[in-house]
Structure 1
Amino acid sequence: MASTTANQQTVDVPAKSGKLKRILLIALIAIFAAGAAAGGMYFFLIKHGVGSSKPAPPPPPPPPVFFALDPMTVNLLSDDGQHYLRVGLSLKLANEKMQEGLQQHMPEIRSRILLALSNKHPEDLSTLEGKHALAQELKTLIEKPTDASEPPVHVEAVLFTEFVVQ
């Protein structure tokens, strides 16, 4: 009897190894599919420029327009009345449209500038700070509207091309 019980024991190992192979096969297929999808997305995004590390540079701004005014000579306020200022100005503008607007009203603008310059003392213009303050004052005067119907003029900077105080 002992011999019959030993022969009845069977091993079910082959059934477990079939399940393990099936699980490994499914896992390998899933990993391969995920890798293929990731690779496809990477090449698609590279081809169409999405996600590139360098953004497109912005277009360069248009070059400024410099508008030179005729030189002006004015008497300055002083005790002896013997001081004068000769000044040449250039205006830095954003575009040519601004220049056209200024040219149409140039007599009025020159008058404003001459009146403002003739109201200065030589001591006010002798320092660098005085010259910067004068440039800012002239910028404000030039930007002041001449007509209510016209769009405002924007002057980026008033530049001195000639500056003689005597």
Structure 2
Amino acid sequence: MSAAVAALGASLKKGRIKIVLIAAAVLLLLGGGAAYLINRSMSADDEEVEVEVQDAPEDADAEQYDPRSAPVFVQLEVFTVNLADRDTDRFAQVGVTLEVEDQKAVEQIKAFMPVIRNNILLVLSNKSSASVRDEPGKRRLAAELRAQALRPLGYEVNPDDLVEEPAPGASAPAGSRPRKPRRLMALPIKAVHFSNFIVQ
């Protein structure tokens, strides 16, 4: 009886060893096949992709966008103001976000926030609904807000020098001539963005 049990135990061990060996062989085959396919697809991708690197022009601005650094934003509370329309009562609800140079600029803006908000409110309340309905009007408004937000930080800038040009391919207003942007010193507030803009 014990000899039969011993023989049965030996055959079970041999069976387990065979199963483990078969499983290991299958895993090796699958792993090798997967590695082959990955290497093949990577080498095919390497052959197809060509990267062309061009030298930056010598007259390029020293302060170009660095894709490794994320932009820094300061979001202001939404402004609700009565507009300067004479024929009827109109108001605007405007969300303003300032794009700033760095964290140091964020701290400066926080220190002068009451003055910056006051300046922005004064600009908004002097606008008519017609002057801010179209895209050029909004671009002009963004430039004026940027100039007024820079004043408490010690920068006197003409808003005309801050008006952003429309994106390439965008239609310019009828009768307008393209304007060459003026080179300005690096300013701590890089842009004004509208997060919402409602005129009623």
Q: Shorter-chain TM-score category?
A: 0.5 to 0.7
Shift in Å, 1:160: 0.1
Secondary structure in 2 aligned to 1:144? Answer: helix
Which of 152, 160, 166 is the matching residue for 2:194?
160
Cα distance, 1:124–1:60 mapped onto 2, change above 3 Å: closer
The answer to whether residue 96 in structure 2 is matched with residue 62 in structure 1 is no
Look up the match of 2:115. 108
Secondary structure in 2 aligned to 1:145? Answer: helix
The answer to whether residue 86 in structure 2 is matched with residue 76 in structure 1 is no
- Could you tell me whether the CA contact under 8 Å between 2:96 and 2:195 is conserved in 1? yes
Shift in Å, 1:61: 4.5
Report the Cα distance in structure 1 between the residues aligned to 2:118 and 2:134, rounded to whole angstroms: 25
- Runs of 4+ in structure 1 off by over 3 angstroms are 145-148
Shift in Å, 1:80: 3.4
Report the Cα distance in structure 2 between the residues aligned to 1:88 and 1:112, rounded to whole angstroms: 15
Shift in Å, 1:144: 1.2
- Could you tell me whether the CA contact under 8 Å between 2:83 and 2:128 is conserved in 1? yes
Q: Which ranges in structure 1 are unaligned for 5 or more consecutive residues?
A: 1-53
Report the Cα distance in structure 2 between the residues aligned to 1:67 and 1:97, rounded to whole angstroms: 12
Secondary structure in 2 aligned to 1:92? Answer: strand
With structure 2 as the length reference, what TM-score do the two structures score? 0.49
* Residue identity in the other structure for 1:136: A
Q: Decide which structure has the larger Cα Rg and report it.
A: 1
Identity, in percent, stands at 37
Report the Cα distance in structure 1 between the residues aligned to 2:128 and 2:121, rounded to whole angstroms: 14
Look up the match of 2:97. 90
Shift in Å, 1:89: 0.7
Look up the match of 1:131. 138
- Could you tell me whether the CA contact under 8 Å between 2:116 and 2:152 is conserved in 1? no
Look up the match of 1:14. none
Cα distance, 1:147–1:136 mapped onto 2, change above 3 Å: closer
Shift in Å, 1:109: 0.5
